[in-house]
């Protein structure tokens, strides 16, 4: 379904850019091309969540078979929290450092690239959450619900793109906004379905508050580290920009890991759901 929606979406964007936003074919092609470049980066965070979903499905399904619904609900909540702990820094990092990322990876791309990636960075958070919520529903035997949320998200995406991409002032920026709205819709519906599927619904506060707080600290450090260095050193080459970006990412990772441990956003019990998670927990002294 998503492949079909994306196929329709590509044709829709090109048509609206020309027919309603008033761009020439070459101008529309350039803007959609840089959007495609940003999408390539946007897809990276989801690759890190997929192995986790593979681990979660049998763990939840086993508890349901044993009729231990409370433990199944607990594993679901833990897996969603871990997904957010992983997704938030990746998506927020793409948004905060969108300018240097695009300039390093695609130095000659259209100037719209960083703003497109910034919006898609936030959308990537919801992509990761949608993957995990889908896995939870599938493990719970509620896979038909995921089909409903995918269809609803696809309709939202096409509708938002139709209206926003056709606005001359927004043009291509409407496409990532449509993507964000699509996955927010999917996640919202999936979370509602999950809450209805278990007697003890996952607590959204536990899943989002502490990871979000750690992520805000990380985002501030990443932003300050890169742009302070850029202001002081005035990066003028691709190598200098890359070095500054890598230094900011390294600082952000260190701060985020420390914040996650300090705030107890994840526990040693949670880490058992991740491949080799127990070893990672011991290495990072997560209790």
**Does 287 map to a domain?**
no
**Does 77 map to a domain?**
yes
CB atoms within 10 A of CB 195: 14
Provide the domain count of the chain.
Answer: 1
**Does 212 map to a domain?**
no
37, with CB counted inside 10 A (0-12, 13-18, 19+), is middle
pLDDT, greater one: 96 or 200? 96
* Lowest-confidence segment of 12-26, 190-204, 210-224, 250-264 by average pLDDT: 190-204
Q: 7-11, 22-26, 194-198, 283-287: which has the highest mean pLDDT?
A: 22-26
Q: Indicate the DSSP class of residue 199.
A: S
**Does 140 map to a domain?**
yes
Angle at 201 between CA 199 and CA 202, to 5 degrees: 145
**Does 236 map to a domain?**
no
pLDDT in tens, 199-244: 777 777 777 888 999 999 999 999 999 999 999 989 889 999 999 9
Which region, left, alpha or beta, applies to residue 276 given φ > 0 means left and ψ of -120 to 50 means alpha?
Answer: left
**What is the domain range of residue 129?**
2-202
**Does 221 map to a domain?**
no
**Does 170 map to a domain?**
yes
pLDDT band at 41 (very low <50, low <70, confident <90, very high): very high
**Does 21 map to a domain?**
yes
Residue 213 tokens, joined: 């707080």
pLDDT of residue 285: 66
């Amino acid at each position: 379904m998503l492949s079909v929606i994306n196929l329709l979406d590509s044709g829709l964007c090109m048509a609206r850019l020309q027919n309603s936003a008033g761009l020439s074919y070459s101008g529309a092609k350039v803007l959609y091309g840089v959007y495609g470049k940003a999408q390539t980066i946007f897809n990276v965070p989801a690759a890190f969540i997929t192995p986790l979903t593979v681990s979660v499905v049998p763990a939840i399904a086993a508890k349901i078979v044993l009729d231990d619904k409370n433990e199944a609900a607990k594993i679901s909540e833990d897996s969603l929290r871990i997904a957010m702990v992983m997704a938030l820094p990746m998506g927020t990092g793409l948004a905060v450092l969108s300018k240097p990322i695009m300039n390093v990876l695609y130095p000659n791309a259209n100037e719209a690239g960083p703003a497109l990636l910034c919006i898609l960075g936030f959308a990537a958070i919801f992509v990761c959450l949608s993957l995990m919520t889908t896995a939870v529903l599938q493990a719970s035997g509620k896979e038909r619900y995921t089909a409903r949320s995918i269809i609803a998200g696809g309709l939202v995406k096409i509708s938002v793109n139709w209206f926003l991409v056709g606005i001359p002032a927004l043009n291509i920026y409407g496409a990532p906004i449509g993507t964000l709205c699509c996955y927010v819709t999917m996640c919202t519906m999936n979370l509602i379905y999950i809450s209805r599927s278990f007697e003890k619904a996952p607590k959204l506060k536990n899943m989002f508050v502490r990871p979000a707080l750690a992520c805000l600290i990380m985002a501030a450090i990443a932003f300050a580290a890169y742009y302070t260095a850029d202001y002081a050193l005035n990066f003028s080459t691709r190598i200098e920009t890359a070095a500054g970006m890598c230094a900011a990412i390294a600082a952000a990772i260190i701060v985020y890991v420390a914040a996650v441990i300090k705030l107890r956003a994840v526990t040693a019990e949670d880490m058992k759901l991740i491949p080799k998670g127990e070893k990672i927990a011991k290495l990072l002294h997560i209790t």
